[in-house]
Amino acid sequence: MTDTSSPQPSFAFGSDAADHLAQHLLHYPADLIDARRLMRRFQASTADVQQVLRWLEQNNPPAEETQRR
């Protein structure tokens, strides 16, 4: 069962590709290993990927911090 009460993050990347990529990486962060495949899948540019990665870095705690909680 999924928690529908948790708010979905809002993105303002300026491109649908970047928005979809960010949403996907929030759910499947390990997929970042194959960024080229993600770029094709979401039709994202290099700039889209860089923008999403910067956003993820600023808005998500490192894994070790998350594990301590």
Which value, to the nearest 10 degrees, does the dihedral of the CA atoms of residues 7, 66, 32, 50 take?
70
Q: Is residue 21 part of a domain?
A: yes
pTM to 2 decimal places: 0.64
Determine the structural domain holding residue 33 and report its residue range. 16-61
Q: What is the pLDDT of residue 60?
A: 79
- pLDDT digits over 22-32, tens only? 999 999 999 98
Q: Is residue 6 part of a domain?
A: no
Which residues of the chain register pLDDT less than 50? 1-6
Q: Is residue 26 part of a domain?
A: yes
Q: Is residue 66 part of a domain?
A: no
Report the sign of the C-alpha dihedral through residues 25, 12, 37, 46, in that order: negative
The count of structural domains within the chain is 1
Q: What is the pLDDT of residue 1?
A: 47
Q: Is residue 9 part of a domain?
A: no
Q: What are the residue ranges of helices labelled H in 1-69? A: 16-27, 35-42, 46-59, 63-68
